[in-house]
Structure 1
Amino acid sequence: MAFQQVKPQKGSEIVMQHIKQQIVSAAYPPGSKLPTVVELSSIFDVGRSTIREALSALKATGWVDIRHGGGTFVVEKIPVDSDNETNGRLFFYQTQSFQEVLEVRKFIEAGCASLAAERRTTDDLMQLEQLLQQMELAVNDEEQSEQYDIHFHLCIARASHNSLFISMMESMTERLQESMKESRRLWFFSEKASVRQLCQEHKRIYEAIKAGDSKLAGDLIMQHILKVDRVVQEFEAAGAPVLDPDETL
């Protein structure tokens, strides 16, 4: 008789499942604040790095919002959990649908950025620069930062002055918003990145457009989205993220 290999759960996965169950049971209702890392470390009798890893996983999967300097809060809208989720699997949304959006984004947005570098006006550059400034000011406000991120990408499309590109981007605004929200979570979680690092990527894209370098602008947008595509494929293949236990939040 053949036996299926069983992978032992990491301590952080066990902690994550316990906290998630408490959220589902309304022990921690939507909008409520979780205990501090120190308090959770004492409650679960594990190291702080294990707690940070568990909270990072919960953030990546949409269960909590970590506000730097303000604590960890349960999101207002709890994600739908799946009965098929096993072994701490974090990739809870429909991979195929998400990857399709990424595929569309890669080619549409790379084209938009290339044309924007050739056709941008002074007003276009001014709007992009203002959005960059607003993103930098909103580094501690995840929801606001996401909105500025979306507007930045839409503004690049408008700077292409191609009515079809603009129409396509605006018609998929809702899907774009969902895609960017998940993209940010996955990128922050897998790459241990921050909103400030994301702002730097946006700034480089803006500078390429301002310099009129169409190839660089298109390449930077493509690389920007390919990072998330790579993370998605890694999540799908592994079923769970590889985290640095010493990473701090």
Structure 2
Amino acid sequence: MVEVSIVRKKLYEEIADIILSDIKSGKLKPGDKLPAIAKMAESYQVSQASIREALNSLKVLDVIQVKHGQGSYINEQMPLGFEQNFEIITKADIANLLDLRKIIEVGCARSACGKAEKLHLEKMKNALEKMWTAVENNELGEQADYDFHMAIAEATGNPLLANLLDDVSETMIRTMKETRRIWLYEAEKSIQKIYDEHKLIFEAIKNKDEAAAEKNMFNHLKGVEDVLLTHY
């Protein structure tokens, strides 16, 4: 007899699913303000921590927007593919992703120093220029961020490394977007810091400085990890 393992959803995932269902059914409409966390906790008979986790997961999915000092709102425009089932990203998923990225991308940065060709450097430079445009326009620029990291993986000359990043591309872009949103809303920080970190990585690879490339990539990814795991 084959044993079947039943994986139960966590409480906050169930709450997030209920909110998603209410949006799809029209019970909650774009632009609607969600009740206060305390009121939602009372309504769902759960802890406020579970409500916060549910809202964080919906924020990463781009379904809701948290306006500091005002509350949580259903986004005016739903993301592409909203009619399909979303995969909720958990804190453990983020931790695992960043661990994977540190293992792979620090090595990629080092390898790219000796193998990056003009085409790869141009791709990195173009991605940096798009990031800077995002900084000037107060936008997030997560796609340019992903393109930069993919260009480094491609510069190693090992297609398996690029394929590994491509396999987790959707989650990478989501977490990049969330990191940038957090930095954008914190007064003492800015998404220009992320741009500056990428520029340091680029300069190290361009100058074939393996030690600096490794160090700058690790520091960047560790910073992303700290930001996400602190706020998620």
Q: Does 1:116 align with 2:112?
A: yes
What are the ranges of 5 or more consecutive residues in structure 1 without an aligned counterpart? 1-23, 31-56, 67-71, 79-91, 237-249
Report what 1:199 is aligned to: 195
Residue 175 of structure 1 deviates from its aligned partner by 2.0
Q: Is the 8 A contact 2:30 2:75 kept in 1?
A: no
What are the ranges of 5 or more consecutive residues in structure 2 without an aligned counterpart? 1-26, 34-55, 68-72, 80-87
Deviating above 4 A after TM superposition, structure 1's stretches of 4 or more consecutive aligned residues are 24-27, 72-75, 187-191
Report what 1:76 is aligned to: 77
Q: Does 1:106 align with 2:102?
A: yes
CA distance in 1: counterparts of 2:108 and 2:185, whole angstroms:
28
Q: Is the 8 A contact 1:65 1:74 kept in 2?
A: no
* Residues 1:106 and 1:73: Cα distance change in structure 2 (over 3 Å): same
Report what 1:28 is aligned to: 31
Q: Is the 8 A contact 1:118 1:212 kept in 2?
A: yes
Q: What secondary structure, in the 3-state scheme, does the structure 2 residue paired with 1:222 have?
A: helix
Taking structure 1 as the reference length, the TM-score comes to: 0.57
* Paired-residue identity, %: 28
* Residues 1:210 and 1:93: Cα distance change in structure 2 (over 3 Å): same
Letter paired with 1:221: M
Report what 1:150 is aligned to: 146
Taking structure 2 as the reference length, the TM-score comes to: 0.61
Q: Is the 8 A contact 1:183 1:228 kept in 2?
A: yes
Q: Is the 8 A contact 2:128 2:199 kept in 1?
A: yes
CA displacement, residues 19-53 of structure 1 (integer Å, 9 cap, x when unaligned): xxxxx9548359xxxxxxxxxxxxxxxxxxxxxxx
Letter paired with 1:175: T
Residue 192 of structure 1 deviates from its aligned partner by 3.7
CA distance in 2: counterparts of 1:176 and 1:27, whole angstroms:
26
CA distance in 2: counterparts of 1:158 and 1:117, whole angstroms:
12
Q: Is the 8 A contact 1:157 1:166 kept in 2?
A: yes
Report what 1:181 is aligned to: 177
Q: Where do residues 211-226 of structure 1 align in structure 2 (5 Å cutoff)?
A: 211-226=207-222
Letter paired with 1:169: L
CA distance in 1: counterparts of 2:30 and 2:170, whole angstroms:
32
